[in-house]
Amino acid sequence: MPNSIEPSSARRKLRLLIVEDQIDLAENLFEFLGEARYSLDFSPDGLTALHLLATQSYDVIVLDLMLPGVNGFEICRRIRSDLRCDTPVILTTALGSLADKEKGFSCGADDYLVKPFELKELQLRIEALHRRHTLKKTDLQAGSLSFDPGTLIVRLHDKKVELVGTPARIFELLIRAYPNFLSHGALHEAIWGADSREIEGHSLRTHIYTLRKTLQTAFGINLIKTVHGRGYRLEAVNHNKDRQ
């Protein structure tokens, strides 16, 4: 099964992440949803899903609970607490008791769909969640800086720049933490996960350098400050400061 499907549509395609270890069900989801206005990514386990979410932007996450390794409850919790990601999550599972549903919602899920379910019902829930999320979503602010998590565009006064990939994720984490700093360890775990085998220092420094250079080129100032021996923080520009 391909990792993504790009169905043709005149409207903007919603980006969905399907996290499901049952390949036959995943294939059915891809076949059904791929005929609609969706761009689909697939993950067979939770840790792969966390990596995708740290580097990509999605409109809705369809998350199975009974996953190999780390279960869906824990993945949902980490999406909210570690990644600080507010993308709507629909949990899908054969566990239909009230206690299971309560646990799912307490982990940060937005919806809960018990298997087996009609594929059309899943589509309707995806659309409803996306509408609600779009209505309540606002840009993140730090002084005169604003960041749109949906478009990945940073604005400062009358200038703007679109971020991509991991630097975009780093910037989102920093602006959500503003005015506090984030430690090297917190950034690394949020982006690559606790079980990552990345070389922390070099990899993080490389992406911070790229982010700084992009923002410097766009706005003419250094917005990412190093807290020596600790981590990094965002230095916002106040409205009363001279424009660069």
Q: Does the domain spanning 4-136 belong to CATH 3.40.50.2300?
A: yes
Residues of the chain with CATH 1.10.10.10: 140-234
Query: For residue 234, what pLDDT band results from cuts at 50, 70 and 90?
Result: very high
Cβ–Cβ under 8 Å, residues 46 and 54: no
Residues of the chain with CATH 3.40.50.2300: 4-136
Tell me which architecture the domain covering 140-234 has in CATH: Orthogonal Bundle (1.10)
State the pLDDT at residue 236: 77
- In tens, the pLDDT along 56-89 reads 888 899 999 999 989 999 999 999 988 888 899 9
State the pLDDT at residue 230: 92
Cβ–Cβ under 8 Å, residues 76 and 107: yes
- In tens, the pLDDT along 24-43 reads 999 999 999 987 678 899 99
Cβ–Cβ under 8 Å, residues 18 and 59: no
